[in-house]
Amino acid sequence: MQAHRLLAIALITGCASARSPVGPSAPSAPAVVPTGQVDSILASLSVRDRVAQLVVPWLAGSYTALDDSLFQVAARWVDTLHVGGLIMSVGSPFDIAAKLNALQRRSRLPLLISADLEWGAGMRVVGGTAFPQIMAVGATGNPRDAYTIGEAAATEGRAVGIHVNFAPDADVNNNPLNPIINIRSFGEDPRAVSRLVQEYIRGLHDHGMLATLKHFPGHGDTQSDSHIGLPVITAGYPRLDSLELVPFRGGISAGADVVMSAHIAFPAFTGSDDPATVSAAVLTGLLRDSLHFRGLVVTDALVMGAIVGKYGAGEATVRAFLAGSDLLLMPADPDSALNAMTVAVEGGRITRDRLDASVRRVLEIKRRLGLLAHRVVALDSIMTVVGSKRFQDGANDIAVRALTLVRDIGGPLHALRARPSRFALIAYADEHNAAAGQFMTELLRQGGDTVDYFRLWPMSGPLSYDSARAVIAQAPATVFVANVRPISWRGNIALPDSLAQLVTTTDQGRPTVLVSLGSPYLLNQVPAAKCYLIAWSGVRAAERAVALALLGKVPIAGHLPIRIPPDYHIGFGVTIPVAHP
């Protein structure tokens, strides 16, 4: 009875937060709720409700009315299943914050809200600051840039009600064919990646957000997408120890709060073809026992093909938990996950002590974040924080300093930078980047260039390519701008063969510049290209940086944080000073 009375006090305090919301940067100092309160809350929960604290469904960030069927699904997770948290998807700042406030107010216990904010809040919060992908920080080589992205992600994320950033990515991208990590990694040198991971964590922590290392024990050396199937890394422990694990050790020493598992098999290490997410050898033996990690372990999304296809929705959650996970992220069916876990506890397959240890970790995190006292955010503070000029200036600055010139044989880029020019700009991107190259074109025209713009898509056919050739034929020079980037469920990361051929033939006949707004490895498809500039990302800050570079208004001074086989090593980069200050 005493435990129930204490729980009621905690809940009343939590509900009171609706009237006195916390500001955008919640303190990481101890909350007013004492540590002992966690044990009291835990004791009051049934087995099913304890399990529910570990289940984290996916929530769309778009606007929905409270009586809309989509919102009612989420309301049922909170009201009936009593889930412990949610992972937030894309939406406007006000839609996300209002939706989370509504769900927080109706939840028995505060919800722990997470999101992927790898390159800033703009990755999920429309209007939030969009930094270049974090490999751009590897190109600048400046740890302060990693801190800046962490600071902005934390400040803007907390302003809309997000508490946990599923970042930084601690993978070492040492495989150019990796279709899903690529520019999401800081680079290929494990020690350099480790330093940047540590600073990113510090930026998050200093501004009230939890940090996650992913994808343990390393996703950088794969050639398939774990959203679709099960990648396999054949390396044994000695290689893992000297390469993949280096940034994870660094992140753990920097105080990382969460580690996310990888849906990847490591048979030489584990002795089986089970993915790391369901391997006790990886999550308990390696992560807990060898690396001494004491924080939360979260699965990668349990809806991904590498795991749900093999085990099913319910069994996948049980196996992941038995292996050492705490939070069960994005189960294919939250009801099935909750039922399977409850049956496993009641049947003795999962011990009560093991369950309680994970639930206690979750509740303690909520206490540390101050959520047992304050769980909603102030909507009227959002416009003073999210997308502010200070953070946007930081994104623009990093994007310029990250520009990396790999080659400029014959000087086509130098010629464009020397004087106002006329050229064709052929932009390529996937369907999620409908405006690729348009902001860049606008800035170039404002700077005095005459630009003939044409857009190609993954589905573009022969007629579209004929039209692109016609545009190219009318101009004395051509700039190809390609936003090729890792996309879940796509399975590859490359230029279409038709586009690679068009770049090659154009380069043979006229001055041509190839600009990558994404993967740095495009040169492997067009090895004869005479000029290759990497901007690392398709966000506006990166397009702005490229425009300024083509106009000669900024220097180019970035260096490769990865190899581009066979000719270009880590640290390579052609430096060009400002042509027109």
Active-site residue list: 227, 300
Residue with tokens 């959520």: 371
Cα separation, 322 vs 316, in Å, equals: 10
What is the amino acid identity at position 504?
T
* CB-facing half-sphere around the CA of 555: CA atoms within 13 A: 10
Q: Which amino acid is at 275?
A: P
> What beta strand segments (E) does 57-167 contain?
58-59, 85-88, 112-115, 164-165
Cβ-contact 79, 45 below 8 angstroms: no
In whole angstroms, what is the distance from residue 400 CA to residue 539 CA? Answer: 12
CA angle 534, 173, 142 (to 5 degrees): 60
- Three-class secondary structure of residue 168 per DSSP: coil
Report the alpha-carbon angle 179-184-188, nearest 5. Answer: 85
The DSSP output letter for 84 is: S
The answer to whether 139 touches 108, Cβ cutoff 8 Å, is no
Q: How many C-beta atoms lie closer than 10 Å to residue 196's C-beta?
A: 31
Which residue, chain included where needed, has tokens 């000669």? 552
Residue count of the chain: 581
Paired tokens of 158: 């907390």
For 100, the token pair is 């989370």
Distance from C-alpha of 134 to C-alpha of 185, rounded to nearest angstrom: 6
412 prior amide bond cis, ω within 30: no
Place of tokens 């980069």: 573
Sheet holding 478-483, edge to edge: 404-408, 531-534, 512-516, 478-483, 422-429, 450-456
3-state secondary structure of 468: helix
CA 180 from centre of chain: 11
249's tokens: 């050790």
Which of 293, 222, 287 lies closest to 254, judged by CA? Answer: 293
- Vertex 497, ends 494 and 503: CA angle to 5°? 95
